[in-house]
Amino acid sequence: MTITRRLVLALAGISAAALMTTPVFADQAADAARTASAAEMVDTASFKKEGPLKVGVSAGYLANSWVVFALQHMRWEASLHPEVQDLIVTDASFNPAKQVSDIEDLLRQDIDLLIYWPVDDASVEDVLKRAVEAGVPTVQAGGGFSVSEGTVANAYISQYKLGEMVARQLMEDIGGKGKIVAMLPIAGTTAAVEQLDALEAVLAEFPEVELLSVEYGDWNRAKAKQITENLLQRFPSITGVYSPAGQMSLGMAEAFDEAGRSAEVTFSPGDEYNGWLKWVAANGQGGAVTFPTRAGQVALQVGLEILKGNPVPRGTAVPSEYVASADIGSLVSPDAPDDWWASDLPDAFLPQQ
């Protein structure tokens, strides 16, 4: 009994000490400051190198069709530059510790340029710093933007801006009032964090909109569907759905449809995931806010400029664009599978269907 009481007291003390250390989160102002720093020019003279070049790509994850398309864009760009002799790709499978090890292994292979998309920005900061100190320039590709000693430049799609565009379009479509649910990617990832921050910032302007629940569907259509089935049981009325990722929007739409409640809900735009684009074309609502897969290509273009010793901006934006449901025909590929992305890739570089 005494042991148990002491144990409870000890754990309570530990919990209290831990809770006193409150996490500090990013906000809209931080995003604005970060975006402003994108315009800064970076001197890259010290990274100048002649070919042949070996490019290392450290992927935080490859088990995602968007990433596969972004990587194909990178391969396409590499094929246009004969001096790029090798493109070595590693996959951290959502494990930040493995990504640190992967980058260490890539550095041991004498790469000339490192392109990466992180599982988590902060977790790879130290190893990236070591890469830059070793004379290997680093370019972040995709949805993150880092201003640190370890990241020379970014080819970025702002998750915050994307989230904000999606949220504002949803507010417009539901008339600025109602009850909404949010479906985000894997909890803890930069994408989930920034999309939620953006939604909360927009919601602050719409007091008549109630956020019923925030869920994490892990970029997984089946999981998003299952979660939505539970949400439909919990809430008798759902006016709108905030879901920037098309594959999860598709799972959610299926759940609403099967529950016979499609008529009550308005979907936010999703990205250019083909299954979602097909749904938008068939249902005439939702639209798309793009998350361009050519970010991979832009990252390599920026990296090659660095290796020429040319100054580059800290951030090269690959902007998201809103495509209304009426114009979705320009993006959708009716004959391609759902797990496919609207892109400019030539046939030779399209992933196998």
Partner 1 sequence: MFRMRWRMVEHNAIWLLLGSGALAAAMFVPAFRDPENLANVMRQAAVLGVLAIGQTFVITAGMIDLSIGQIAGLVVVLSSAMINGDTAMTLPVVVLMLCVGAGIGLVNGILLNTLRLHPLILTLGMMSVIQGAIFTYTDRSIGRTSELLTTLANGSFLGIPLSAIAVALLVGAGHLALTRTRFGYHLVAAGGSPESARRAGISLSRIRLAVFVISGVTAALAGLLLAGRLGTGYPLAGNGLELDAIVAVVLGGTALSGGRGSVIRSIGGVLLLACISNLLNLLEVSAYLQMFIKGLIVILAILINQPRKGEA
Residues that bind partner 1 (CB under 8 A): 4, 7, 10-11, 14, 17-19, 21, 23-25, 59, 62, 88-91, 93-98, 100-102, 104-106, 108-109, 119-123, 125-126, 186-188, 192-193
CA distance 240 to 119: 30
CA distance 57 to 280: 34
In the complex, the smallest distance separating the C-beta of residue 146 from partner 1, rounded to whole angstroms, is 12
Longest CA pairwise span in the chain (Å): 74
In the complex, the smallest distance separating the C-beta of residue 96 from partner 1, rounded to whole angstroms, is 5
Strands 288-289 and 322-323: antiparallel
Q: Report whether 249 contacts 270 (CB < 8 A).
A: yes
Nearer to partner 1, 50 or 108 (CB): 108
CA distance 29 to 317: 18
Nearer to partner 1, 6 or 177 (CB): 6
The dihedral over CA atoms of 60, 61, 67, 68, expressed in degrees to the nearest 10, equals: 130
Nearer to partner 1, 26 or 324 (CB): 26
The position carrying tokens 């998309």 is 117
Q: At what angle do helices 274-283 and 246-258 cross, to 10 degrees?
A: 50
Nearer to partner 1, 90 or 243 (CB): 90
In the complex, the smallest distance separating the C-beta of residue 184 from partner 1, rounded to whole angstroms, is 9
CA 318, distance to chain mean position in Å, is 12
Nearer to partner 1, 148 or 266 (CB): 148
DSSP states of 221-270: HHHHHHHHHHHHHH-S---EEE---HHHHHHHHHHHHHTT-GGG-EEPPB
Nearer to partner 1, 150 or 246 (CB): 150
